[in-house]
Amino acid sequence: MDISVVVPLYNEEESLPELTDWIRRVMLANNFSYEIILVDDGSKDNSWKVILDLKKSHEQISGIKFRRNYGKSAALNVGFAATQGDVVITMDADLQDSPDEIPELYDRIMNQGADLVSGWKQKRYDPLTKTIPTKLFNSVTRSVSGIHNLHDFNCGLKAYKKDVVKSIEVYGEMHRYIPVIAKWAGFTHIQEQVVQHYPRKYGTTKFGPGRFVKGFLDLMSIFFVGKFGKRPMHFFGPVGVVSFLIGFFITFYLICEKLMSIANGTPYRNVTDQPLFYLSLLAIMIGTQLFLTGFIAELLSRNSSERNKYHIERVV
């Protein structure tokens, strides 16, 4: 199979008929063999019924239904697991992304050596309250991740080489950082493609302003998990040891100072009378704690397979 299209959706009943029809037209025009995997992320409207109806006349459609709303990342994650195509395309359900971009995305993966191609909504149809924080967000992500050629990390329209989606795991709000996760997984050929972006046709956005806070925390965790996730001790260990040593040497110095004064017969201060002594004790204790925290993190990191459990209600 050439292409798998994965569409995460939450309450998008009005858009689905148009979206799937549009995808079909593009696929037929280009002679692609394809599947469309619609992941219903616990919709409360009739989205699932619409999916069942569409499937009757469009055999390339398959549906996965979550029992409740787990978020876009979880929906993408199960969608990825189900794909069979050589190239996987993700797009939002709300008709803001255009299926007309698919042939070029496919070509970049198959013929131009890209592992991942991310859409860039250069001219986007969203309110300023969203586009301004988004700009800031993208520039922070660029510098933290070192992926300097992307302008729009969170674009819903992306294409992946099959290996990429089979190797990465997305949870929390991590869908915003898939290029970063892919890079950490060793897929370095990351490209960008300017794509059309349309205003939302039906319904309203499913993400509130809290998206940026959550997204930022997730970015920090990606950075630390990516860098130290497998060896948390490499982060906590050195900080703990340095803190411990600073405390140790200050105490050592204070004791030596006292002994020297006694030996020389000059007046001296008790070690315990000096504030510096208590600071150094604190440094020793904090250092020990950090070291032990690293040790515990090290143990936990061997047992983190729990975070991606979903309850799938039906698959058709």
Give the burial class of 71: count Cβ atoms within 10 A of its Cβ; 0-12 exposed, 13-18 middle, 19 or more buried: buried
Alpha helix segments (H runs only) across the chain: 16-29, 47-57, 72-82, 102-111, 128-145, 162-167, 178-184, 210-228, 233-264, 275-300
- Amino acid, res. 238: P
| Least gap, CB of 192 to ligand UDP (angstroms) | 18
Q: Which does 207 bind (CB under 5 to 8 A by kind): Mg ion, ligand UDP, none?
A: ligand UDP
Q: Do 119 and 97 form a contact (C-beta atoms < 8 A)?
A: yes
Among 14, 94, 152, 218, binds Mg ion (CB under 5 A): 94
Tokens representing residue 11 in the block: 């309450």
The answer to whether residue 11 forms part of the interface with Mg ion (CB under 5 A) is no
Among residue numbers 90 through 109, which ones bind ligand UDP (CB under 6 A)? 92-94, 96
Tokens representing residue 301 in the block: 């990191």
Q: Which does 152 bind (CB under 5 to 8 A by kind): ligand UDP, Mg ion, none?
A: none
| Whole-number Å distance between alpha carbons of 34 and 16 | 17
Task: Count interface residues toward ligand UDP (CB under 6 A).
Answer: 17
Tokens representing residue 165 in the block: 């989606």
Binding mask 4-33 for ligand UDP (x = CB under 6 A): ----xxx-x---------------------
For the chain, what is the radius of gyration of the CA atoms?
Answer: 27
Among 65, 72, 161, 183, binds ligand UDP (CB under 6 A): 72
92/218 with CB nearer Mg ion: 92
| Whole-number Å distance between alpha carbons of 316 and 313 | 10
Binding mask 74-93 for Mg ion (x = CB under 5 A): ------------------x-
The answer to whether residue 15 forms part of the interface with Mg ion (CB under 5 A) is no
Task: Count interface residues toward Mg ion (CB under 5 A).
Answer: 3
| Least gap, CB of 145 to ligand UDP (angstroms) | 20
| Whole-number Å distance between alpha carbons of 170 and 181 | 8
The answer to whether residue 96 forms part of the interface with Mg ion (CB under 5 A) is yes
Among 75, 150, 170, 290, binds ligand UDP (CB under 6 A): 75
The distance in angstroms from the start CA to the end CA of the chain is 19
Residues that bind ligand UDP (CB under 6 A): 8-10, 12, 41, 69, 71-72, 75, 92-94, 96, 156, 205-207
Residues that bind Mg ion (CB under 5 A): 92, 94, 96
